[in-house]
Structure 1
Amino acid sequence: MSETVSSSSAKPARFVDPLDFLARYGTLVALALLIVFNLFFTRNFATLQTLNVNLTQVCTIVIVAIGMTMVIGTGGIDLSVGSIMAISGALAPLIFLGTIFPVGNMGVSVAVAIAVALLAATLLGLFNGWLVAKMRIQPIIATLVLFIAGRGIAQVLTNGNLQVFRVPEFQWIGLARPFGIPVQVMIMVVMIVLAAWVLQRTVFGRQILATGGNEKAADLAGIPVDRVKLAVYAISGFCAGVAGLVVIAINSASDANLVGLGMELDAIAAVAVGGTLLVGGKATVIGTLIGALTIQLVRYTLLANGLPEGAALMVQAAIIAGAVWLQQQGRVR
């Protein structure tokens, strides 16, 4: 009898579904394999300089992708982030160079410039949210408005001219390296930690995922869906504003034609590869970081081993397509 009981109570062996495993951990596995490959086959990979190069190249994408993760978590999309970067990057030099009004104390002017640029970026994001939440315009159309008009606004602000500056009080954002760590990497890490905490530990984070998972059910449950949408688009605008300031600080110049160009695609790619569902309802900031690092490291690996830029772009496209396919398989199962 005892044998019968123990046999019936034994738990059946659990088999890991390969597709489910890849959907959950595929990007992390790919990143680990890329690191191992480069350690053995890419010269000078295991150096602080290589690490800094890759981190500085990916940090602005990650900063923008943090806001994009929250927007996509609600089932939306934000095509305007590159243009908002251009506006933020155009506004700040106009203030601290004294183009709008005479510069007094440079430290104060830089602080005002950063505050105004970030406020403008946040308000532009809020405008996107208003179009989506209040005007009921499809997110891809609503954010297309600023995608087109935003860069024009930046060009009008600067008369299409390149703004070159030498202002150490501002440039430290992109050029300083305390303890050997680039400041923009520190900014990225702080923003990742805050965003991950919001998504995982706060009521607002749960509201984001509920809105993206089933908007009607979330509304019936008393979740302020419109306010959630307004908030995530404002956050996306703020993140784009931060990235715009970092980019012009790195380059010591602001070019309204180039700052943030194509950034919306890079950010969406990082979010998709990182495991956030593009239809909403699931969002992971840590996954977005891993996705961005994977895409960057693929590009670095191919270029460092002699493959042309075109090949790197095609491989990146294949990775994005594969990530979205795995997402679909996971949803079906």
Structure 2
Amino acid sequence: MEATVAVRRAPAAGSMRRWWSAMGATGGAVIALVILVLANAIFTPNFATTGNFWNVLFQLSVTLLVAVGMTLVIATGGIDLSVGSVMAISAAVAAVTVDQGLVIAIPLALLAGAAVGLLNGAFVSTFKVQAIVVTLATLLAGRGLAQVINRDGALITINDPGFLVLGRGHIGPVPVQVLIAAAVVALGIFVLRSTPFGRYVLAAGGNPAAARLAGVPVNRTVITVYVMSGMLAALAGLVEASRLGASAAARIGQGAELDAIAAVVVGGTLLSGGRATMMGTVVGALIMQVIATSFNMLLIPYAWALAFKALIILFAVYLQLPRRV
């Protein structure tokens, strides 16, 4: 009887995967997002309002900045766990240098993120250390470094009006950080779809050996995507510090790596590399933010939102598993 039940259930799982492949991972994520939005519009009070629409985009912006870089890293078959710590480092650098002017503080903060990314990329591509090991080490070291820069973890307030525009300013009804995130996403789509570098990224993740034989500079490509991930995480740290009006090394960027990875995976980018979709990342980030927002509006404890997000991630990873013949 057990053997019969197992045989009957197998086609259902297989048909789900075939449907997912036919739709495309991003298409499936879009359908899931539409269902979530419609359900919340019906059952969650005040969800379908203009104010909540801007709130969702506002909360989403920082995650998107990190997720664009994470998409490129995962497309090469890697992972970057250090992005949250890089956010904290860039915020700390900006806080202690902002008195010298934005033309010094902002470039230094971005360069700090690029330096961490360069370190990650060099170890992954040149020394062949597993990305999860390298970036876990820089995650831990980076958080400690941020606290050292931040004067032993002290809260440093930032009052520069120009700096505060990044996270608090508006152009009309649109928050500045939403515009920044939109510009970064648009640039990410262009790079991935329309440039030789985008093709190098997918080739390096799909089959590195074949890519090298075809003349693709695999090592340079891998280093570049980690540098880009570091710089985008640093930009996210600047936006977050601007929104808070302070640098808090122990708080800024906490869990950012998990939110970004979730957005990328749910959106349809393969964890094994070789396939990536920037629009899918946007959809995945929206799904995660809608869940968090709706649970908050329904006064459901955030722990349940985390559990629900985890189930969605596991389901997305399951759908990426290769089919058994």
The structural deviation recorded for 1:299 is 1.9
The structural deviation recorded for 1:332 is 5.6
- Which of the pair has more CA radius of gyration? 1
- Kept in 2, the 8 Å contact 1:22–1:326? The answer is no
The structural deviation recorded for 1:326 is 1.0
2:172 partner SS? helix
Aligned residues: 307
Q: Distance in 1 between matches of 2:324 and 2:237?
A: 39
Q: Which runs of 5+ in 2 are unaligned?
A: 1-16
Alignment of 1:27-106 (within 5 A): 27-97=29-99, 103=100
Q: Distance in 2 between matches of 1:332 and 1:248?
A: 48
Q: Distance in 1 between matches of 2:55 and 2:93?
A: 27
Q: CA deviation digits over 1:121-158, x for unaligned, max 9?
A: 11210111011111111111111221110011111111
- Kept in 1, the 8 Å contact 2:47–2:294? The answer is no
Q: Distance in 1 between matches of 2:23 and 2:215?
A: 35
Q: Distance in 2 between matches of 1:223 and 1:304?
A: 49
The structural deviation recorded for 1:309 is 1.4
Q: CA deviation digits over 1:68-110, x for unaligned, max 9?
A: 000000001111111111100000010113xxxxx4xxxxx01
Q: CA deviation digits over 1:15-49, x for unaligned, max 9?
A: x9424246532210011111112222222222221
Query: Which residue of structure 2 lines up, in the alignment, with residue 269 of structure 1?
Result: 262
Alignment of 1:179-190 (within 5 A): 179-190=172-183
- Kept in 2, the 8 Å contact 1:90–1:256? The answer is yes
Q: Distance in 2 between matches of 1:258 and 1:332?
A: 44
Query: Which residue of structure 2 lines up, in the alignment, with residue 156 of structure 1?
Result: 148
1:134 aligns with 2:126: yes
- Kept in 1, the 8 Å contact 2:166–2:242? The answer is yes
Amino acid at match of 1:245: L
Moved more, 271-280 or 53-62: 53-62
Query: Which residue of structure 2 lines up, in the alignment, with residue 169 of structure 1?
Result: 162
After TM superposition, the score normalised by the length of structure 1 is 0.89
Q: Distance in 2 between matches of 1:332 and 1:127?
A: 38
Structure 1 segments, 4+ long, off by >4 Å, are: none
Query: Which residue of structure 2 lines up, in the alignment, with residue 225 of structure 1?
Result: 218
Amino acid at match of 2:196: V
- The root-mean-square deviation of aligned C-alpha atoms, in Å, is 1.5
Q: CA deviation digits over 1:3-23, x for unaligned, max 9?
A: xxxxxxxxxxxxx94242465
Choose which of 94, 103, 108 in structure 2 pairs with 1:116.
108
Q: Distance in 2 between matches of 1:288 and 1:332?
A: 27
Q: Which runs of 5+ in 1 are unaligned?
A: 1-15, 98-102, 104-108
1:301 aligns with 2:294: yes
After TM superposition, the score normalised by the length of structure 2 is 0.91
- Kept in 2, the 8 Å contact 1:155–1:256? The answer is yes
- Kept in 2, the 8 Å contact 1:83–1:147? The answer is yes
Change (3 A) 1:81 1:289: same
Q: CA deviation digits over 1:212-254, x for unaligned, max 9?
A: 0011111111111000001000000011000000000000011
1:251 aligns with 2:254: no
Amino acid at match of 1:112: I
Q: Distance in 1 between matches of 2:161 and 2:50?
A: 24
Q: Distance in 1 between matches of 2:245 and 2:87?
A: 15
- Kept in 2, the 8 Å contact 1:273–1:291? The answer is yes
Choose which of 131, 137, 141 in structure 2 pairs with 1:145.
137
Amino acid at match of 1:293: L
- Kept in 1, the 8 Å contact 2:265–2:284? The answer is yes
1:319 aligns with 2:321: no
1:141 partner SS? helix
- Kept in 2, the 8 Å contact 1:23–1:327? The answer is no
- Percent identity reads 45
- Kept in 2, the 8 Å contact 1:63–1:191? The answer is yes
Amino acid at match of 1:28: V
Q: Distance in 1 between matches of 2:66 and 2:33?
A: 21
Q: Distance in 1 between matches of 2:162 and 2:146?
A: 23
